[in-house]
Amino acid sequence: MITRKRPVAGVCVLLAALTAGLVAFPAGAAADEPTGRDAPKVNLLLDVSGSMRARDIDGQSRMAAAKQAFNEVLDATPKEVELGIRTLGANYAGDDRKEGCKDTAQLYPVGPLDRTEAKAAVATLTPTGWTPIGPSLLKAADDLEGGNGSKRIVLISDGEDTCAPLDPCEVAREIAAKGIGLTIDTLGLVPNAKLSRQLSCIAEATGGTYASVEHQDELTDRVNELVDRAAEPVVTPVATEGADSCAKAPTLKSGLYTDREEFGQQRWYRVDVLPGQELRASVSVGADRAMNPNHGVLLRAVTVHGREIVRGEAAGNGRTDVLSTGLRYPKPEREDDDGKPAAETVCLAVTHSFSAGAGVKTTPGLPLELTVDVVDGPDGASDVASFGLGRGWWLLGTLVLAGFLAGLLWGWLSRWRFAVWRTN
């Protein structure tokens, strides 16, 4: 049994990681050679509200710093990345809150990048109105529909949302719950505690990252890094839906899967394992909202008849918001009555004991990431499973015996050399 904890990344890491696509060119492929994979998509979501007029970034306005950063990012965007730009608060300057909270527009559509056209669009921006982050995130997610490549929203804002009760954190959780593999990264342009909490919450809900930047070059570097990250070759998690019993559970092959698990719920999955193979499975559950301390995650491998084979478990005290555990099951070499290798269906059950804090919504469920790997087992897999640490004790005994014999030999040689020395 393997039990481990890992810190927050993104997606979750890990769990985030959180959640990006396979986008690298295979070895030997030319830059313009088609690879058969969908292009990664990035949507830059820029706050153009009235507060962006403030002149506190390297002696220039926040808007001017953002424009300069965008121009440099557009020049450096990899050719394989489809990029778009959406604004919030760019068009309505009035006092009607209802109208202000609708103020989001697609400045440049997500697709193959025309750098000149995109820069011309950015040049037209003027700080104007409200800060409708929640509604804008919903629209930005719609901009990225289609394809199986990685999808990323990079939100840049200098103030918290002004359109409650549509909570941007809840919006981010709803987007994550769709299982479309979309990551939201956030950048704050001012060191504000309230803004930091909101942007961090948005990012964590999707396995993304949050950073506060106070200089134009920092903004450029960070956005460039996030755009480049969309093109990195990483495994795309496959959205699945576990069942409430093994009999109804989906059958999974080796791969990375994402799901959502409600509080007090148990999720079941099935994996077929052949004789001589080893099942390796791990699960991570992320707390994407305020949770009570003292919680745990349990992963069990069970036969279809309900007998537990092995389990992995981990406990946490609230210091990290991702909890992980894993297990291994080497299937013994056996045959059925006809002399053929007998496959076995192993049921994986995931349970967590997270509990929501007062006033915290319990839906959607917490994000779950499940890794399944069925590989050829080591020689004598059945011996390893049944003998446990036996091989370790044999090795220890061999080393002790070898050390004892080496000591005797060294002592004999030392006495012989001393005797020869006295004789001479």
- 143-160 pLDDT tens trace: 999 888 889 999 999 999
- Indicate if the alpha-carbon torsion angle 153, 154, 160, 161 is positive or negative: negative
Please state, in angstroms and as integers, the Cα–Cα distance from residue 203 to each residue in 17, 78, 168, 282, 336, following that order. Answer: 11, 23, 10, 24, 51
The distance from CA 267 to its chain's CA centroid, rounded to whole angstroms, is 20
pLDDT at 419 over 80: no
pLDDT at 30 over 70: no
CATH 3.40.50.410 in the chain, residues?
20-26+37-230
Give residue 402's pLDDT.
Answer: 77
Under the banding of pLDDT at 50, 70 and 90, the label for residue 379 is low
pLDDT for 45-85, tens place per residue? 999 999 999 999 999 999 999 999 999 999 999 999 999 99
> Comparing 245-249, 283-287, 397-401, 405-409, which segment has the lowest mean pLDDT?
397-401
pLDDT for 190-205, tens place per residue? 888 899 999 998 988 8
pLDDT at 33 over 60: no
CATH 2.60.120.380 in the chain, residues?
238-383
pLDDT > 70 in the chain, percent? 80
The neighbour count for residue 219, using CB atoms within 10 Å, is 25
pTM of the model: 0.60
Residue type for position 227: V
Token couple for 194: 């309230």
Please state, in angstroms and as integers, the Cα–Cα distance from residue 59 to each residue in 47, 55, 226, following that order. Answer: 19, 6, 25
Query: Out of 1.10.3720.10, 3.40.50.410, 3.40.50.2000, 3.50.30.20, which CATH number does the structure's domain 20-26+37-230 have?
Result: 3.40.50.410
Give residue 161's pLDDT.
Answer: 92
What mean pLDDT comes out for the span 254-265? 92
Under the banding of pLDDT at 50, 70 and 90, the label for residue 420 is low
Give residue 322's pLDDT.
Answer: 79
Task: Give DSSP secondary structure letters for 157-202.
Answer: ESS--SSTTS-HHHHHHHHHHTTS-EEEEEEESS--HHHHHHHHHH
pLDDT for 210-238, tens place per residue? 888 889 999 999 999 999 888 876 566 78
Q: What is the mean pLDDT of the chain?
A: 82
Query: With left for phi above 0 and alpha for psi between -120 and 50, is residue 240 left, alpha or beta?
Result: beta
Q: What CATH number was assigned to the domain covering residues 238-383?
A: 2.60.120.380
Torsion angle of alpha carbons 312, 247, 244, 275, nearest 10°?
20
What mean pLDDT comes out for the span 244-271? 94
Token couple for 376: 């050829």
- The Cα 282–Cα 389 span in angstroms is 22
In angstroms and rounded to an integer, the radius of gyration of the C-alpha atoms of the chain is 28
Which has the closest alpha carbon to 287: 136, 176, 382, 210?
176
- The Cα 392–Cα 254 span in angstroms is 30
- Provide the H-helix boundaries in 206-311: 216-230
pLDDT for 307-366, tens place per residue? 999 999 998 887 667 788 999 998 876 655 565 667 899 999 999 999 988 888 888 899
